[in-house]
Chain A
Amino acid sequence: DQQVKQNSPSLSVQEGRISILNCDYTNSMFDYFLWYKKYPAEGPTFLISISSIKDKNEDGRFTVFLNKSAKHLSLHIVPSQPGDSAVYFCAARPSGSARQLTFGSGTQLTVLP
C-alpha cells in the first residue's frame, strides 16, 4: 500500500502559467516532506522541502504548501518555464530513528512553449 501517492502521472501547462503538482500521504508519522526533480538519464535532484511545523515554504518560483489535516501537499511553480519539464517526485520522512524517505510515483510535467 503506497503511503505517498501522486495521482496524476502527467501534467501539461503553458509557459508562463502556474503548474500545480499534488501529493497525498497516509502515514501521520511523516514529519518532513521533499520534492525532487528528475530529468531523463539523470538522477533526481532536490528541489524544495517543508517541515510539518510549517504550512508553506517558498524558494524563488517554487512554493510548497502542506495541509496536515488533509494529509496533502502541493508544489506550485510560477511562472512555469520549458526547462521545468521533468518528472517531479514527492517524498516523505517519518519521525523517529529510521528516517528513510518514502517516494511517490512521480508526475511528468511538460511545459509547452
Chain B
Amino acid sequence: NAGVTQTPKFQVLKTGQSMTLQCAQDMNHEYMSWYRQDPGMGLRLIHYSVGAGITDQGEVPNGYNVSRSTTEDFPLRLLSAAPSQTSVYFCASRGQGPYSLHFGNGTRLTVT
C-alpha cells in the first residue's frame, strides 16, 4: 500500500540548474497538489491538478511548472533553481469523500 511516493528524498542543486521532483500515487485520486514547507510559513500551495490534463496555480507558483499526463503522476519542474526555492516539497492527493489530503514523505531541496 504505497499511497503517495515522492522521489528523490534529498537533492542539492546549484543556482540555475533544472530538475524534476517526481510524485506518484496509486489510489486513483483525481486531485493532486504540490506544497512547499518553510520555517514559520506552514505549507503553501504551489500548483494543483483536478485530473489528467488539468492543472492550475496555487499561492506560490512562480519558478515552477507542472503537467498531468496521467492520473498517477504529477511531476514538479524547477526550470532554473534559485536559493529562494530551498525548501521541503510535499506532494499530496485526495479522492472523493471526506476532504483530507494524503501526503508523500517529502523532498528536501537545497539550492546553493
Contacts and interface: CB of A to CB of B under 8 A. Distances in A.
By secondary structure, the B interface counts as: strand
A44 B33 CA distance: 14
Contacts of B79: none
A104 B45 CA distance: 12
Contact of B42 (A41, A43, A46, A103): A103
B15 to A, nearest CB: 26
Query: Which among A46, A100, A101 has the greatest number of chain B C-beta atoms within 10 A?
Result: A101
B99 A43 contact: no
A34 B99 CA distance: 9
B108 to A, nearest CB: 9
A42 interface: yes
Contacts of A34: 99-100
B103 A45 contact: yes
Contacts of B45: 100-102
A54 to B, nearest CB: 14
Nearest to B108: A41
B60 interface: no
Contacts of A103: 35, 42-44
B103 A43 contact: yes
A105 interface: yes
A46 B40 contact: no
A43 B1 CA distance: 16
Interface in A65-107: 89, 91, 93, 99-106
Interface of A: 2, 4, 6, 9, 32, 34, 36, 41-46, 49, 89, 91, 93, 99-106
